[in-house]
Amino acid sequence: MLHMETNLEFARVNDWFMIVMLWVLPAVALLLAGLAALMFSGNLPRFLRWRAGELSPTEEEPSISVLIPARNEAAGISDSVQAVLANTGVVLEVVVLDDDSSDSTAELVREIAQDDGRVRLLDGVTLPPGWNGKQHACCRLAEAAQFDLLLFLDADVRLKPTALQQLTRRKAQYADQGPAKGEPISLLSAFPNQETGSLFEKILIPMMHYILLCYLPFDRMRSRTDPGYAAGCGQIFVTDREAYQRSGTHAAIRTSRHDGLQLPRIYRQNGMLTDCVDGTGLANCRMYRGAGEVVRGLLKNAHEGIANWRLLMPFTVLLSGANVLPYVTLGYALVQYSDDNHGVAVWFAALTSFAAIILSHLPRWVAAWKLPQSPTGAFFHPLSIVLFLLLQWWAFFTHLCGKRVSWRGRDS
């Protein structure tokens, strides 16, 4: 009797397991993949739209200070500065802060400054306690800027000749809807074309666009000043001195390594509007080189982004449910089919899972076409999700242990 009851209980559990695997989870996967694809389809045109000629010409050339923090950037600092100097349609200066470099960064900038009076070099100082190196450098650069329009630029970004003109025009626009209607754009960020070389770069670097376009509602971001809609790319930021001072400057995020998120947040906390746009046609950037730099780069500021107690579990569910779960349920359906179980549930699970897989890949393939990004990364999209989530959890536990990833020779 006991043996029969055990078998009956096992049969019930097995039935429930099959219901979950063949009906519930495939439907959940399709729903999550569909929601991400739907958000992407609405956000992508908004991200790209400003390219389409909505910017009206200005009557006079704006004046702008381009501010570049540089630490051991000898390999590319000359190209970066020369690309800025080649810009037309603006009056500009370039201020570079040599942040305690151990290479020839300072000497290379001095050589350019001798030939072009628009270039200045600031010498670095000992990093004060409690400051992140980049935030301290940006704060000093802003204090030294001659003009009221400020553009913070990473040293590995190469601007195109009309980038400054286009960015200043976009910065001069206002919100045209929602509670922030009529408010100026106080902080503008642009995402450069991300150049990728190694396989890890191709797989993981485009995740910045995937997260941004699949999970941030752009219509709300551009019509409200709520801090929860803060987003940006720390490689390019444009602001004006008055708004920058009102935000609290980089001093308000002095300990942060994630200015791409934290700088827009402090603007919004002070009631100001921020925006981010596609900068594919404005600049190129090779952010990291090789797997080691990609891993360290993603780990160094992950806890300020997703790898924290508030966001890590929801994003694990959203990302794995939309992009990994469909493969699990499809595999289970195929196993049931091979066992001669050809019922409606098996066909439902197989077709629903396959549809979810198509939808989950769609944003990456469209992004590879429109932005553009590597087709290799799009092909390995599920692997991208798995690696990205593993790194987020690694960063979460590392942060709990009080450890920080060293970056450019610093732990801060």
Strand 63-70 versus strand 91-98 pairing type: parallel
pLDDT-derived band at 2 (thresholds 50, 70, 90) equals very low
Mean local confidence (pLDDT), 248-268: 97
Is residue 136 helix, strand or coil?
helix
> What are the tens digits of pLDDT across the range 322-345?
999 999 999 999 998 877 766 889
Model confidence at 69: pLDDT above 70: yes
Q: Which fold has domain 47-288?
A: Spore Coat Polysaccharide Biosynthesis Protein SpsA; Chain A (3.90.550)
Strand 185-194 versus strand 157-159 pairing type: unpaired
**Looking at residue 15, what is its pLDDT?**
72
User: Which of 274 and 13 is assigned the larger pLDDT?
Assistant: 274
pLDDT-derived band at 60 (thresholds 50, 70, 90) equals confident
* 170-184, 232-246, 370-384: the lowest-pLDDT one: 170-184
Mean local confidence (pLDDT), 223-232: 96
Identify the helix (H) or strand (E) that includes residue 92. Answer: strand 91-98
* 12-26, 66-80, 228-242, 248-262: the lowest-pLDDT one: 12-26
* Rounded Cα distance, 260 and 265, in Å: 9
> What are the tens digits of pLDDT across the range 364-394?
999 999 998 999 999 999 999 999 999 999 9
* Rounded Cα distance, 45 and 285, in Å: 22
**Helices within 216-305 (DSSP H only):** 218-221, 241-247, 259-269, 290-300
**Looking at residue 369, what is its pLDDT?**
95
> What are the tens digits of pLDDT across the range 29-51?
999 999 999 999 999 999 998 65
Is residue 360 helix, strand or coil?
helix
Model confidence at 95: pLDDT above 90: yes
pLDDT-derived band at 407 (thresholds 50, 70, 90) equals confident
CA-based nearest residue to 100, from 144, 133, 145, 143? 133
Model confidence at 268: pLDDT above 70: yes
Mean local confidence (pLDDT), 9-34: 85
Model confidence at 53: pLDDT above 50: no
**Looking at residue 56, what is its pLDDT?**
52
**Looking at residue 404, what is its pLDDT?**
84
**Looking at residue 18, what is its pLDDT?**
87
Q: Please provide the average confidence, as pLDDT, over all residues in the chain.
A: 92
pLDDT-derived band at 12 (thresholds 50, 70, 90) equals low
pTM of the predicted protein model: 0.93
**Looking at residue 52, what is its pLDDT?**
41
* 119-128, 269-278, 353-362, 402-411: the lowest-pLDDT one: 402-411
Model confidence at 173: pLDDT above 50: yes
- Report yes or no: 111 and 104 within 8 Å, Cβ to Cβ: no
* Rounded Cα distance, 108 and 74, in Å: 7
**Looking at residue 336, what is its pLDDT?**
87
